[in-house]
């Protein structure tokens, strides 16, 4: 048999009910052969027994406890031994041609270290969930097209800042060079941070609209701005900027960075989460010596020019 070029990694935590939808769509893929690896992040439900009975074709990496999204993603791609690694959340359903289109995009674009699918709302399939990640110099990350109507929008393959980590493919050599997802993040924004480091190192990202994924959206973590979500978003962006922004960007875009933090502070006060905001900054600063050591490594590997970064990172907050 031909040795697989691709490993599809599915991360799950107490999500057996989600896998009941996700895994049949992997079995229906037109692309093959490929490895299917389910990373069970310390689930307390019957995920492992259910997988053994209903999906024996899936390899299972069973972690003894929940070590966080970021660390679990690292365990998944590090366990893969293939040229390409695709990472998926458990709350997805793949169009049958999804994996084939993602692999083809990296084959055709050797400059790309990653590629992302077109995400469509699982419950309302006339609505986009995301068409690649975007980053503004102020530090705010967004999903392009989120909440917009699908018809006639974002149908063109093109370079983007980054791919949503819930449905993306990575070139193994890029993962090795850029390094793992930052496990300090625990959850949220780890894909944005990786995409920034990849762009700085000269690895581009492609948006692949022909690779379609139906996304349930926050089915595991929830949709509300909880203290947990707010804390990690506010803390992690400080580390992302400190590591990934070149010196010139910190100077030129300082007004946008300050304004974004003022907006976050105002949002924290309005939501009665000022204590969460201050704790996020306290913990971000406590870890800054280690973060700055990582910054030296990231910036020493920088190959992207100022104009190349300006082409994929937007001005504003």
From the number of C-beta atoms within 10 Å of its C-beta (0-12, 13-18, 19+), residue 42 rates as middle
**What pLDDT is stored for residue 219 in this prediction?**
45
3-state secondary structure the chain: CCCCCEEEEEEECCCHHHHHHHHHHHHCCCCCCCEEEEEEECCCCCHHHHHHHHCCCCEEEEECCCCCHHHHHHHHHHHCCCCEEEEEECCEEECCCHHHHHHHHHHHCCCEEEEEEEEEECCCCCEEEECCEEEECCCCEEECCCCCECCCCCCCCEEECECCCCEEEEEHHHHHHHCCCCHHHCCCCHHHHHHHHHHHCCCEEEEEEEEEEEECCCCCCCCCCCHHHHHHHHHHHHHHHHHHCCHHHHHHCHHHHHHHHHHHHHHHHHCCCHHHHHHHHHHHHHCHHHHHHHHHHHHHCCCCCHHHHHHHEECCC
C-alpha distances in angstroms, 153 versus 59, 97, 131, 139, 301? 37, 20, 9, 25, 36
**What pLDDT is stored for residue 152 in this prediction?**
84
Residue 191 has pLDDT above 60, yes or no: yes
Give the pLDDT confidence of 24-56 residue by residue, as tens digits: 999 999 999 999 999 999 999 999 999 999 999
The per-residue pLDDT of the chain, averaged, comes to 95
Quote the CA–CA distance of 225 and 222 in Å, as a whole number.
9
Give the pLDDT confidence of 233-284 residue by residue, as tens digits: 999 999 999 999 999 999 999 999 999 999 999 999 999 999 999 999 999 9
Give residue 224's pLDDT band: very low, low, confident or very high (50, 70, 90): low
- Could you tell me what percent of the chain has a pLDDT over 70? 97
Give residue 13's pLDDT band: very low, low, confident or very high (50, 70, 90): very high
Give the pLDDT confidence of 53-69 residue by residue, as tens digits: 999 999 999 999 999 99
Residue 222 has pLDDT above 50, yes or no: no
**What pLDDT is stored for residue 165 in this prediction?**
86
Give the pLDDT confidence of 108-126 residue by residue, as tens digits: 999 999 999 999 999 999 9
Residue 225 has pLDDT above 90, yes or no: no
**What pLDDT is stored for residue 1 in this prediction?**
60
List, in order of start, the domains of the chain with CATH numbers.
Answer: 6-215 (3.90.550.10), 227-314 (no CATH)
């Amino acid at each position: 048999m031909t040795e697989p070029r691709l490993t599809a990694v599915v991360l799950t935590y107490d999500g057996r009910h989600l896998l009941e939808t996700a895994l049949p769509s992997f079995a229906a893929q037109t692309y093959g052969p490929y490895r299917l690896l389910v990373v069970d992040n310390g689930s307390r439900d019957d995920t492992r027994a259910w997988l053994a009975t209903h999906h024996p074709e899936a390899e299972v990496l069973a972690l003894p406890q929940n070590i966080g999204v970021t660390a679990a993603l690292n365990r998944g791609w590090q366990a893969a031994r293939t040229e390409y690694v695709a990472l998926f959340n458990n709350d997805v359903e793949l169009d049958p041609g999804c994996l084939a289109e993602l692999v083809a995009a990296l084959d055709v674009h050797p400059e790309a270290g990653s590629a992302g699918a077109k995400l469509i709302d699982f419950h309302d399939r006339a609505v986009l969930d995301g068409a690649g990640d975007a980053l503004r110099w102020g530090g705010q990350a967004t999903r392009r097209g989120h909440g917009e109507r699908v018809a006639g929008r974002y149908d063109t393959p093109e370079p983007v800042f980054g791919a949503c980590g819930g449905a993306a493919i990575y070139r193994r050599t890029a993962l090795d060079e850029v390094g793992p997802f930052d496990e300090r993040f625990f959850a949220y924004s780890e894909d944005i941070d990786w995409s920034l480091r990849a762009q700085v190192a000269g690895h581009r990202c492609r948006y692949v609209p022909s690779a379609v994924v139906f996304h349930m959206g926050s089915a595991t973590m929830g949709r509300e701005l909880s203290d947990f979500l707010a804390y990690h978003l506010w803390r992690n962006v400080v580390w992302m900027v400190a590591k990934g922004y070149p010196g010139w960007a910190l100077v030129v875009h300082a007004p946008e960075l300050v304004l974004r933090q003022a907006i976050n502070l105002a949002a924290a006060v309005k939501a009665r989460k000022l204590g969460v905001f201050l704790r996020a900054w306290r913990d971000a600063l406590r870890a800054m010596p280690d973060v700055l050591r990582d910054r030296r490594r990231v910036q020493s590997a920088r190959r992207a020019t100022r104009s190349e970064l300006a082409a994929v990172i937007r001005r504003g907050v």
